[in-house]
Structure 1
Amino acid sequence: METITVLGQAYRNTATKTSLTPMETPQGVTVIDSELLSERGVKSLNQALRYVPGVTTEQKGGAVTMYDTFNIRGFDVNQSYYDGLVLQYLNGWNLQPQIDPIALEQVEVFKGPTSVLYGSMPPGGMVNMIAKTPQATDSTEVNFATGTNNLVEASIDTTGQIGDSDFSYRIIALARSKDGQVDHTEEERFVFAPSLDWNVSDSTYINFNLYYQNDPAMGMNSSLPSSGMISDNPAGSTSPSTFAGDKNWSTFEREFLLAGYKVNHDFNDTWSFLQNFRYMDAKLYQENTYHLESGFDPVTGSLDRNIYSTDETSTGYTIDNQLSGSFSTGKVEHNVLFGLDYQKLDGVSAYSEFGTTSQFGDFNIFNPNNDMIERDALNSTYDARDNVQVEQLGLYFQDQMRIDNLIIIAGGRFDDYSSSSEYSDSYGDTNNAADHDNFSYRVGAMYEFESGFSPFASYATSFEPVAGTKKDGSTYKPELAEQLEFGVKYSSDDQSKTMAVSLFNIVKSDALMADPNDPWGDKLQIGEIESRGAEFESHWYMTDNFDVALNYTYIDMEITRDSGNGLQGKSPIYVPKHAASLWSNYFIEDGALAGMRIGGGVRYVGEMQIDAMNTDTVEAYTLVDLSLGYDLSELSGSLLGASVNLVANNLFNEEYYTCYDTVNCWYGAERNIELNFKYNF
């Protein structure tokens, strides 16, 4: 039987903030549903994006799991969205909510600038995670999993109508524990996410939602030199389990609460109103070490590490008001959208340093002693406190018009952004502030032929305000960008074959990046970066039992204008010129193996630059993933609703790397095998 999932009465797709389909949008859009997330054994947003064209994910390797680090079309994305509202980030620090896939119905990736609807946004695109919502039909799914690195996981997802009332509920809970990829590290997570739907009347719907997550242990946040890792070193070598930190000073704890509501009211058949609100309360504490190029001796492998801690808290709220309407003027059908959104964040980070590990002896990365630091002997050498405030107000408008088979979309937005940072240390107080406003817009058109092909073209702009002030007291300019995109989408009549091809050119001005000569100092604001490339995405149901998804990305990215920094003509890090992936599933319906699903994929990521100055490259890699599923009801009718799944990511345990520069590199995720049992009733 076909299963149809209702995303919720307040659902609006990421591309247009309307209920119109992504296929009607003249820009690239990729949707990953919960079934695919489950088949691939996804544990983070980073992992969910592995097979999305145009996205380079897991920039800090496989061991750093406390962040979702990825870029789209070459531009880093440091804020993702959850149910249409931004997951607020404590500027300049580490604290940001990270949603677990157990709570997600699907993930939507929108390519290209989206400032016209969401305000502050990098030009490569954005990711919006769609939450699971209450359903009127009773259903409960329990899941137990085990696997490599001593994985132990249990979860429950239950939903249904409350009696004969107008209320429906959903309760999601998760507990997970495993050893980290790196020695002496652990990962623990607890999630509780209840939600309630209230159908007040035929025209009014209210959703109340809560998401609580406690991460008592988040692995590690350290890097390794490339010497002895990517490049050979006679003094020795490292491995994917090498830990550059110290087990006596390695704490990563995070806890946050998201509480919100949605109100959707239909005034009539033409006009409706949606208000989406969320409150956030979050905190993070870490004890860690970091190293500089000056602290590493590649001849001996000696590594001197700086000891530090951060204690971070933030509270914030976001609200988005949308008035949408559908009407016709002559032959033109209009879907209009008026919006007003606002966000505010207040946060504090207390930062302390405690000297270097040389006070406890010499540390050699090729023969690491991770039991050196004596906590009682540490004395603070530097203390600082940063009070951060961010406020943004946006007013936007969009009209999606249809004239027979022609679709035209146009929209504009005005943003007023302000931020401040009151930084206090033993040297005095520094007040950094930013105050920016900007108008963003996009126009696009698509024509739907009867054959199923829909060529499109679009032009869009983006706006990224830059918080903070340089040491000389001057402020940064906002980062602005524009994209021109041409492409074609195809969908067969029965939806069994879909395809999209995009050609894009993005130009970003006043782009901000770390100074390769002083990564901890002022950031550089270079003149211009250009990203041009092509994306191909397809999904083909070759038979009722066999489907294949094939993707390919080409990106040529270059710093095209820079004065005085020596970066003109260089390619940014984390941007492979070529990337490709293939995922396939085969379902066996007859014979001795009836009820089995055989799935898997191949991921190829081309070589990337090792640092900003392009002194070397990080080699390309190809990874193979396997996913097997079996419906246990084929063995016995009493097991109806039970299934077992085996997932193996990086099946052949290929060793691969990512790098920020030559002294800060990470190993990719090692082979990970998971066996899970699900029971739905």
Structure 2
Amino acid sequence: MPSHVIKPSLLAIAVSLSGSPLAVAQTDEPMELDTMTVYGETYRNTATKTALAPGDTPQSISVLDQQALEMRDADSVATALRYAPGVNTELRGGAVGRLDLFSIRGFINYQNYYDGLQLLYNDWNLQPQIDLKAVEQVEVFRGPTSTLYGSMPPGGMVNLIGKQPSSEHFNKIEVASGSRNLAEASIESRGQLGDSNLSYSLVGLTRTRDGQAATSEEERHMIAPSVDWQVSDNTLVNFNLYYQKDPAMGIYTTLPASGLFLPNPNGDLPQDAFSGDANWNEFDKEVLLVGYKVNHNINDNWNFLQNFRYTDAEAFQTNTYTYRFPNDPFSQDGRTLQRQAYLTDEATTGFTVDNQFSGRFQTGRARHNILVGVDYLSLDSDVIYEDTAAPAIDLFYPDYYQISRSTINIENTALSSDFNIRKKQLGVYLQDQIELGRFVVIGGVRWDDFTGEESGRKYGAPVNSKLDQDNVSTRAGVMYRGANGLSPYLNYAESFEPQSGSDRNGNEFDPSKGDQWELGVKYQSQDQRTSLNLAFYQITKDNVPTRDPNGGPLDQVQAGEVRSQGIELEAQAQPIDSLLVTASYTLQSVEVTKDNTGLKGQTPVWVPDQLLSVWADYGFYNGPLDGLVAGIGARYIGEAEYNAATNEGNVPDATLVDIALRYNLGRVSHSLRGAELGLSVNNLTDERYYSCFDANNCWFGEERTVEASVSYTF
């Protein structure tokens, strides 16, 4: 069993996971691959919002469990997803961590979920993040998900499953140090409170380190308590809180491709190159999430779950960006970069609630699992933005101390903004999951009503825009669970995203919609040692705004379309007791299929043509290395475009190697039982790799980082 298991209450839901952990036995027996992780009553599978196991779901879903997260030293969504198929992480490089940004199947996504509820994002800089210390596992649901979750890009979504209370006592303290002056301490505790019907979970973290870019720093403090109250045999109430303070979050600035992977007469820029200013590089974010869950078993077959969360967040930043208009930001010398200075002051409040009513019944030979849901979210965010000219910087001989309030006039400029953003989304959904012999059939439909509003002053001009759009999304899938472990499946799913704006005749835009066809096969061996998921998919997203050829330069019409198609392979095998190997491969082709601006046939940025990863864990259970678990991984990121208009150049591909070691000191001496040493190295060879939005805005990937830790579990 994994070291972190959420113990069940009276009617626990047992979910069989294909991504199960490899554990070191406490005896001299060989390690065994566990195939069952048990979750509490309030857990729901991301792909269905039911207890249907991911392996029995006719759509692609990956589960990254606690073993994988710990071995790969994941402390952010980006680092957790590095080995997941179809996902491109670090879109803004390794030095930028203030936003969780990734693409799935070629479509960018800012919207993460935490325990099944959306983390409210104001579309600016204030995105709540969840530190992976508070996460039990990460679930990646690929393909359109709007039938269950409403507004969402068509590529898929990520749901972070938080650590939950347990009636079994567990305590762990850990300290770590490493590259860039890392200093980290964390605690984790859970158990039953005396002889009461209360159980708890508590996770806490403090971390400081230097940022990858010169003069930058990173700092985080987090605490996440949670309490389960077993009111009766049929009713469980959970109260949960998540608080995070980020006084410093590295950088957000960019670098030109010239000097990274394009030629520059002055040579190559170092990996710690920084185009900003140490005196004007503040980012202070504070996030409070307060929620509850009520799970009530009406009878043996019918259940009600209400999941609620309130959000209160704020962020203040001072920063710079490359000044791109009207000329190239680089002067003729290839080293002097023109800049603007800006600040933002943002605050968000809001809440989300999801009500799920589910029931099981049988008609003839068909077993039904009906789900009826109503969810609602509300966001209210205030944004202040100021922008002004700033001194240029010589990237090859930088002066990082040029900007201060005394040297720039940052307030009441032409781009001054002070405005309010409001969003509301109401969704009603219905899903039926049918098991008929060896067949699993799933069908769903959802209606959404989305409203949005911006009011105040934006970029120096009054703004008062309103958006009111509704949409119906559908989903259908079928899987045949073969006796030989092979389970072919086919699914169709739809997505939608609200789209603001109107054409030159005043006609408001419709939502941007996507649909997917996916054909795949899943395999699970009889001995549970081998699992596989192979998928072929095609996603089409339409109603994308593009320039109106009969209008002015800023007029748009919804004539754009983007198509993504590809192959994904995910596999896990345990050829011998002590070895667990996971691998994934993605081959994707994404292109604009309709457009009025000459983009037809072009590939968007941030879309590698291939992604390949392999990770292996090997456990030693006798001999001089008894108690050691060693992991090694390699990941390949294929070439990507950096010029969306012409596709004339590519961001180079990269192959990165990561290693991890965990050593159980209890094998050395019984008195050290519970103590463990850890060592991880990411990007072992310190390869230079990059990500680009365009030729003027690129980032370095994460440099080599080393982390050593010691923990004690009791």
Q: Same fold (TM over 0.5)?
A: yes
Q: Is the 8 A contact 1:432 1:469 kept in 2?
A: no
Indicate how the Cα distance of structure 1 residues 449 and 426 shifts in structure 2: closer, same or farther if over 3 A, else same.
closer
Matches within 5 A, 1:492-503: 492-503=525-536
C-alpha contact 1:433 1:469 (8 A) present in aligned 2: no
CA contact (8 A) 1:433 1:468 kept: no
Shift of 1:9: 1.2
Q: How does 1:446-461 map to 2 (within 5 A)?
A: 446-461=479-494
Cross-structure match for 2:466: 433
| Count of matched residue positions in the alignment of Structure 1 and Structure 2 | 671
Query: What one-letter code is carried by the residue in structure 1 that aligns with 2:129?
Result: Q
| SS class of match (1:245) | coil
Matching of residue 375 in structure 1 with residue 409 in structure 2: no
Q: Return closer, same or farther for 1:427/1:71 CA change in 2, 3 Å cut-off.
A: closer
Q: Is the 8 A contact 1:292 1:663 kept in 2?
A: no
1:541 aligns with 2:574: yes
1:284 is aligned, of 301, 310, 315, to 315
Task: Give the C-alpha shift of residue 364 in structure 1.
Answer: 1.4
Q: Distance in 2 between matches of 1:227 and 1:426?
A: 30
Pair 505,137 (structure 1): closer, same or farther in 2 beyond 3 Å = same
Deviations 1:398-426 (A, max 9, x none): 00001110110000000000001114158
**1:461–1:559 distance in 2 versus 1, CA, 3 Å:** same
Query: For residue 597 of structure 1, what is the aligned residue in structure 2?
Result: 629
The one-letter amino acid paired with 1:346 is D
Match of 2:18 in 1: none
- Out of 253, 257, 263, the residue aligned to residue 284 of structure 2 is 253
Q: CA deviation at 1:478?
A: 1.3
2:586·2:610 contact (CA, 8 Å) conserved in 1? yes
CA-CA distance at 1:600 after TM superposition: 1.1
Residue 429 (structure 1) shift: 1.4
Does 1:214 pair with 2:245?
yes
Question: How far did 1:235 drift?
Answer: 3.0
Q: Paired residue for 1:332? A: 366
The 1:129/1:528 distance shift into structure 2, 3 A limit, reads: same
1:651 is matched with 684
**3-state SS, counterpart of residue 116 of structure 1:** helix
Please say if 1:633 is aligned against 2:633. Answer: no
SS of 1:248 mapped into structure 2: helix
**503, 516, 520: which one pairs with 1:487?**
520
Q: Among residues 677, 699, 702, which one is paired with 1:666 in the alignment? A: 699
CA–CA distance in structure 1, aligned partners of residues 203 and 436 of structure 2? 44
Query: 1:387 maps to what in 2?
Result: 420
Change (3 A) 1:67 1:526: farther
- TM-score of the pair, normalised by structure 2: 0.92
Q: Distance in 2 between matches of 1:138 and 1:547?
A: 28
SS at match of 2:268: coil
Partner residue of 2:99 out of 54, 59, 67: 67
Give the CA deviation at 1:474. Answer: 6.0
Q: Residues 650 and 473 of structure 1: is their aligned pair in 2 closer, same or farther, counting only changes over 3 Å?
A: farther
Of the three residues 306, 312, 318, the one matched with 1:275 is 306
Contact 1:433 1:475 in 2 (8 A): no
Q: Deviations over 1:550-606 (max 9, x none)?
A: 11001011101111x110010011111111000000000111110011111000011
Separation in structure 1 between the aligned mates of residue 95 and residue 247 of structure 2, nearest angstrom: 16
Verify the 8 A CA contact 2:321 2:340 in the aligned structure 1.
Answer: yes
**Greater shift after overlay, 371-380 or 530-539?**
371-380
Output the CA distance in 2 between the equivalents of 1:469 and 1:641.
62
What amino acid does structure 1 have at the position aligned with 2:535? S
What whole-Å deviation, never above 9, does each CA across 1:300-334 have from its counterpart, x for those lacking one? 32111001100000000000000000110001100
Task: Check conservation: 2:6, 2:164, Cα contact below 8 A.
Answer: no
Deviation string 1:419-470 (CA, Å, 9 cap, x unpaired) is: 0111415854111221110000011000011100000000111011124668
SS in 2 for 1:415: strand
What is the CA distance between 1:642 and its match in structure 2?
0.8
Deviates more, 1:332-341 or 1:521-530: 521-530
2:48 paired with 1:25: no
Residue 504 of structure 1 deviates from its aligned partner by 0.1
The answer for unaligned runs of 5 or more in structure 1 is none
**Aligned partners of 2:684, 2:444: CA distance in 1, in Å?**
46
Quote the RMSD (CA, aligned, Å). Answer: 1.8
Alpha-carbon distance in structure 1 between the residues aligned to 2:507 and 2:708: 55
Query: 1:184 Cα deviation (Å)?
Result: 0.7
Select between 286-295 and 385-394 the one with higher mean Cα deviation: 286-295
Q: Could you tell me which runs of 5 or more consecutive residues in structure 2 were left unpaired when the two chains were aligned.
A: 8-38
Of 74, 78, 93, 1:46 maps to: 78
* Equivalent position to 1:343, from 348, 359, 377: 377
Which residue is equivalent to 2:160? 129
Decide whether the 8 Å contact of 2:665 with 2:676 is kept in 1: yes
- TM-score under structure 1 length normalisation: 0.96
Cross-structure match for 1:106: 137
Q: Secondary structure at the match of 1:102?
A: helix
Deviations 1:106-165 (A, max 9, x none): 000001001000000111100000000001011101010000000000000000000000
Q: Which residue of 2 aligns with 1:179?
A: 210
Cα distance in structure 1, aligned partners of 2:340 and 2:226: 44
Aligned pair partner of 2:191 in 155, 160, 166: 160
What is the alpha-carbon distance in structure 1 between the residues aligned to residue 641 and residue 505 of structure 2?
31
Return closer, same or farther for 1:522/1:28 CA change in 2, 3 Å cut-off: farther
SS, match of residue 69 in structure 2: helix
Matched, 1:618 2:648: no
Question: C-alpha offsets along residues 166-224 of structure 1, whole Å, 9 cap, x if unaligned?
Answer: 00011111000000000010000000110000000110000000000000000010000
Distance 1:197 1:677, change over 3 A: same
- SS for the counterpart of 2:494 is strand
* 2:224 is the counterpart of 1:193: yes
Secondary structure of 1:223's aligned partner = coil
Q: Percent same amino acid at aligned positions?
A: 46
Residues 601/335 of structure 1: CA separation in 2 closer, same or farther (3 Å cut): same
C-alpha change, 1:471 and 1:237, in structure 2 (3 Å) is farther
Q: CA deviation at 1:511?
A: 2.7
The answer as to whether partners of 1:248 and 1:375 remain within 8 angstroms in 2 is no
For the residues of structure 2 that align with 1:41 and 1:116, how far apart are their CA atoms? 33
Following the alignment from structure 1 to structure 2, what is the Cα–Cα distance between the partners of residues 298 and 118?
A: 50
Give the Cα separation in 1 of the matches to 2:452 and 2:50: 30
Q: Is the 8 A contact 1:227 1:298 kept in 2?
A: no
Alignment equivalent of 1:364, drawn from 394, 397, 420: 394
Deviation at 1:375, TM superposition (A): 2.3
Amino acid of the structure 2 residue aligned with 1:21: A
- 1:304 corresponds, among 303, 318, 338, to 338
**Using a 3 Å threshold, how does the CA distance of structure 1 residues 541 and 384 change in structure 2: closer, same or farther?**
same
- Give the 3 Å change call, closer, same or farther, for CA 512–548 of structure 1 in structure 2: farther
Alignment of 1:568-583 (within 5 A): 568-583=600-615
Structure 2 match to 1:550: 583
1:514 positional shift: 11
Moved more, 371-380 or 525-534: 371-380
Letter paired with 1:267: I
Which amino acid in the other structure matches residue 277 of structure 1?
Answer: F
Greater displacement, 476-485 / 653-662: 476-485
Question: In 2, distance between residues paired with 1:208 and 1:291?
Answer: 45
